[in-house]
């Protein structure tokens, strides 16, 4: 077990002959101050001869058996960077070992070099028995066989075209350090949420080979990240259209969606093209809604830039817009191809926008993960004092990264088997019935995470009144949220107006009020049609 927390190497590198696996792997290991291992060199050391000679004397079958044994040893013994021979992952037993390694948190980096560059390097270096004869034709044949296998088994897909070994090593280290949450989707396509500094660099790979035209939908406040996405996509040969929408909830309307549809029509977007959403939760919601509705559904990738969007809106496949009568009443369930939560973007957030996102983080702790509550409590002072200018590289950065990962995992647990919110997924709405009513009453001048924080206190009070939570549990809600700088009370609209808004909430069933409360901390449940006096009393207890 390496010190990085995975069982085996820090990372395993795979790729075609000439991709630079040894060069880049050795440089990355040097930068990290950890060992570098090459399975081909280990094989030659074990048999006392070159691989070319072993191939000639014993044949490929015998070599692959030996290679598989050596790799099995290295996957348990190595704690550094491990580079595998070009054909190693094609052996069934080696693939099985690599899947086991990934299952324990390992990273497999597929170095995807420019085919012409890799082919030239492979041919020039010689000594490659699999390229005997017409080396260029043979390399192409091998690529066609191996690329689908490599793509399936890799956890990181890294393009190295025109990159120096040093730049490629830095990119690889960033990939290895990122957190990956896999989202299984019943009756749909699985996808990954990638969390870490610089993960936006993986946008072209996540976009896939198909889309020629890509629309970037973003707010003006995240222009620098849109510029980065545009440069990455154009370098990858895509035609890029930029569509700027208003900030926050003003960008999440039918009128804005209509403008996006017209821009897509004018740009000639077809069913095989794609959308990228960049910005906060409202922007990614709108981008997903546009993707879900254009030609009945096209590919899209979310690049959330706020903490709230990273932990909530960008994952789960909920897309939608608001209408005057309510929030998110028009929408669709439509999953992204992937989510790139680049934590470097948090450095540009004002403190109040960052703190707002902690409302959704705390909610996830209340309904499932008490480790989230512990991390929030122990780091409350630093989180409340968030300063974007000093965030990158600070002690707070890994804390926030872990909070994002844990919150996303809570969400995935609830959405993977319930895409359309018919049961388990509804537990994610803890605090939201009143929270949405507050947003509506305040004409969205209150931010979502702040409204949810008050809504969590309301739901806890209702749970206490009905005999489920203790006084201590409710006070813990108030104490934790207050320590983070989040509100725990509200002095806005009157009871009758709020009751009417709660009846229009998406979770309502006919004329029946429906809440999510806690049976105990970490154990949510549905509550249908509670005594209206209890609801009124809980409401009175959150009045400022």
The residue ranges of every structural domain in the chain are: 11-176, 178-349, 422-541
Q: Is 235 one of the annotated active-site residues of the chain?
A: no
Among this protein's residues, is 479 annotated catalytic?
Answer: no
Helices 448-465 and 432-441: crossing angle, nearest 10°? 130
| Residue 45 known to bind ligand | no
Express each pLDDT in 61-85 by its tens digit: 999 999 999 999 999 988 899 999 9
Q: 395 labelled as ligand-binding?
A: no
Which member of 112, 213, 411, 414 is catalytic? 411
The residue among 315, 305, 334 whose CA lies nearest residue 216 is: 305
User: Would you state the pLDDT for residue 52?
Assistant: 86
pLDDT at 280: 87
Task: Confirm whether residue 496 is marked as ligand binding.
Answer: no
Position 314 scores a pLDDT of 64
Residue 4: predicted pLDDT: 46
pLDDT at position 319, please? 85
Residues of the chain with pLDDT below 50 are: 1-5
Q: Do domains 11-176 and 178-349 have the same CATH topology?
A: yes
Determine whether the annotation assigns residue 390 to a binding site. no
Residue 19 assigned ligand-binding role: yes
CB 529 within 8 A of CB 513: yes
Q: Which of 230, 429, 439, 464 is catalytic?
A: 429
Q: Which residue has the tokens 């749970």?
A: 463
Q: What is the DSSP string of 275-320?
A: EEEEESHHHHHHHHHHHHHGGG--EEEEEE-SHHIIIIITSSSEEE
Report how far apart the first and last C-alpha atoms of the chain are (Å, whole number): 52
What is the reported pLDDT for 1?
A: 32
Residue 219 to residue 222: CA distance in whole angstroms: 6
**Digit-coded pLDDT (tens) for 101-130:** 987 878 899 998 777 776 676 556 555 655
Please indicate whether residue 436 is annotated as part of the active site: yes
**Residue 95, C-beta contacts closer than 8 angstroms, at least 6 positions apart:** 89, 149, 153
CA atoms within 13 A on the CB side of 156: 30
CA distance 307 to 353: 8
pLDDT in tens, 299-309: 999 999 999 99
Q: Residue 130's pLDDT is what? A: 57
Residue-level pLDDT at 5: 47
Active site residue 138: no
- The catalytic position among 171, 194, 318, 477 is 318
d(CA 185, CA 410): 15
Active site residue 503: no
Query: Is 117 assigned a catalytic role?
Result: no
Whether 296 is a known active-site residue: answer yes
Does the active-site annotation cover 507? no
Residue 270 annotated as part of some ligand binding site: no
CATH class of 422-541: mainly alpha
Please tell me what DSSP assigns to residue 268.
T
- The CATH homologous superfamily to which domain 11-176 belongs is P-loop containing nucleotide triphosphate hydrolases (3.40.50.300)
164 belongs to an annotated ligand binding site: no
For 178-349, the fitting CATH number among 3.50.40.10, 2.60.40.10, 3.30.70.60, 3.40.50.1970 is 3.40.50.1970
């Amino acid at each position: 077990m390496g010190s990085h927390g995975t069982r085996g190497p820090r990372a395993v590198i795979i790729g075609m002959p000439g991709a630079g696996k040894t060069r880049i792997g050795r440089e990355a290991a040097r930068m990290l101050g950890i060992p570098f291992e090459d399975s081909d060199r280990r094989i030659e050391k074990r048999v006392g001869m070159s691989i070319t000679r072993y191939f000639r004397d014993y044949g490929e079958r015998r070599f692959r058996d030996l290679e598989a044994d050596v790799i099995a040893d290295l996957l348990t013994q190595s704690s550094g960077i491990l580079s595998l021979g070009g054909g190693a992952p094609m052996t069934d037993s080696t693939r099985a070992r690599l899947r086991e390694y990934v299952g324990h948190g390992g990273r497999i980096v597929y170095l995807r070099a420019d085919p012409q560059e890799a082919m030239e390097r492979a041919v020039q270096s010689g000594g490659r028995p699999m390229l005997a004869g017409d080396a260029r034709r043979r390399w192409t044949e091998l690529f066609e066989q191996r690329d689908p296998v490599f793509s399936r088994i890799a956890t990181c897909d890294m393009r190295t075209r025109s990159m120096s070994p040093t730049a490629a090593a830095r990119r690889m280290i960033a990939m290895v350090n990122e957190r990956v949450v896999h989202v299984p989707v019943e009756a749909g396509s699985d996808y990954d949420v990638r969390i870490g500094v610089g993960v936006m660099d993986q946008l072209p790979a996540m976009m896939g080979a198909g889309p020629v035209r890509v629309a970037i939908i973003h707010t003006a406040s995240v222009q620098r990240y849109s510029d980065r996405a545009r440069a990455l996509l154009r370098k990858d040969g895509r035609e890029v259209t930029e569509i700027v929408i208003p900030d926050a909830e003003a960008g999440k309307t039918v009128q804005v969606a209509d403008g996006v549809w017209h821009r897509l029509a004018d740009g000639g977007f077809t069913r095989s093209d794609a959308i990228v959403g960049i910005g906060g939760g409202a922007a990614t919601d709108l981008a997903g809604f546009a993707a879900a509705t254009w030609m009945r559904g096209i590919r899209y990738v979310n690049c959330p830039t706020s903490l709230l969007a990273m932990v909530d809106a960008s994952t789960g496949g909920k897309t939608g817009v608001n209408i005057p009568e309510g929030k998110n009443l028009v929408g669709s369930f439509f999953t992204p191809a992937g989510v790139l939560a680049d934590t470097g973007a948090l450095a540009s957030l004002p403190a109040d926008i960052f703190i707002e996102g902690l409302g959704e983080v705390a909610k996830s702790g209340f309904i499932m993960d008490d480790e989230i509550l512990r991390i929030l409590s122990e780091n409350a002072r630093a989180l409340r004092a968030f300063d974007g200018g000093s965030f990158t590289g600070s002690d707070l950065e890994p804390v926030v990264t872990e909070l994002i990962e844990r919150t996303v995992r809570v969400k995935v647990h609830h959405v993977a088997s319930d895409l359309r919110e018919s049961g388990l997924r509804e537990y994610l709405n803890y605090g939201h019935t009143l929270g949405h009513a507050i947003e509506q009453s305040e004409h969205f001048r209150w931010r979502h995470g702040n409204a949810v924080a008050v809504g969590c206190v309301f739901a806890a009070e209702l749970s206490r009144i009905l005999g489920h939570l203790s006084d201590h549990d409710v006070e813990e809600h108030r104490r934790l949220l207050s320590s983070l700088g989040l509100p725990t009370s509200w002095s806005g609209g009157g009871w009758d107006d709020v009751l009417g808004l709660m009846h229009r909430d998406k979770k309502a069933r006919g004329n029946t009020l429906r809440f999510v409360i806690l049976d105990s901390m970490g154990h949510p449940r549905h509550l249908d049609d509670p005594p209206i006096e209890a609801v009124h009393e809980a409401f009175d207890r959150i009045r400022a």
